[in-house]
Structure 1
């Protein structure tokens, strides 16, 4: 969680409070071996971030008392940290763009007149120019396109503009990953658009909540709005490596928290009389390989959360109490 702004100690405290709801300050200090002053300082910051509540007065364990530390729900916590991180990135981008005229003013001291150079970031406000620049980025991309859209419904003109662009990238063999919010499932035109992208090879996921609006091309160029609340202020095109790395980390954190479109639409079917589907067999084989869930999810091209959901549903279907028993039952039925 470091790229979301938490220190290592803060992450350890939050995770401990998730495992042991109601733990007190003394219990936290004992388990994490933190100096008392440092523990209080990190707790204060976690409370400011809204990740913890309680822990203000007494000492020791007291689940019913003021000292009881309670962690915020992980979905809420991650969404809050993502929003804060995105706000910081926007502020940093805006500060950098505001420095561009500085070079010209300094050169003017020597009597020079020269157009200010773009320092890895460009701001455009004219919508046609923004569309043209994005079309160029998509056309020249050679590896990957990554997108996050926070709107709960895509307008017809947005679908009309973006769909051909993304399909061209897919036809050229690029990897395309896109994330929308789950409420978009309530908008049929948006769902139809996502299904079309997925049918051509795009990987589509949905997240509970995000305010991030990101376009990333070949992990080298990031496009974000100048103001997430006001689209008329234009877009920022960033190629400065430090900023792009931060925006990419933000995208990856959103991607990790999201779930696959097919799963949320109920397309993970139960096993019928004629046996499991090929996807279900792949899940069983990955589970039986003994590897980590992260490796199994990566091999299947799904999130770890989705992979674990697949396994839980197969275990329930097989009537297994644990994974080894599920593997045994699957082998007995000839599914693997």
Structure 2
């Protein structure tokens, strides 16, 4: 029952027994619970390590169980420390990944000077996209984070998508689930589907990218400000990796025409699960909103709803209870 808090079932049974019977020996505990004396001894030691069993003042040499209210507080605090360590490890991993990506980009520029093209500004990006769309032969694959797409972006995309589809090019696009609440992006997605394209959605996307014929990929110079410019890579190992990433995202995405499934046993949507995972790993409301393509107000409303549904009194307790429910099946 309390395994998510580091409390194994045997130790929990011993603790519950000692709350009602404090005069039991290790052998008595083993006999009453139907376990070996060795397992009973290990469970008692585990309870001591968790500070749920403490030395008795009245009877020196004996152990007493702490009150259940204090036990819950101690277990939650211990779990909080674990989560904080995970957050720190995640942040360190992010930093290491960023450094690796930067080093790879530098090496790519040094080793393949004719394979990388830097585009400065939105006009340069649009001009290059128009050229690539005219020359693509087989497929155009896109990951589009940021939630609702701007009217300007949709207007610029329509003639390019229409031209590619008219030539039999496969156009596959992945948006965030949140676009289902934006009339303009929703309408554009259905227009694209009616024209022969395919559109799917996911709760969160790793980055923005557009790939042509799995030979050329465009990614932003700054993921937080795509207007600054983009990098265009041709025929490199990085392009192959981006193709594999797209395939992975696509296989897990939900077609735009379908309702987003809600797991029958979890009472939580994929978008809500991603929100919990983001906040568990230390993301702020603002960062979570940007990654999910939602407003900060919507993120806070969703979090308040989750807190209420779990009967929690704080965000930390919400995270703990979500873990107990098995809702955090993510790479947190």
TM-score (norm 1): 0.48
TM-score (norm 2): 0.49
Which fold has the larger relative contact order, with Cα–Cα distance below 8 Å and residues 6 or more apart in sequence?
2
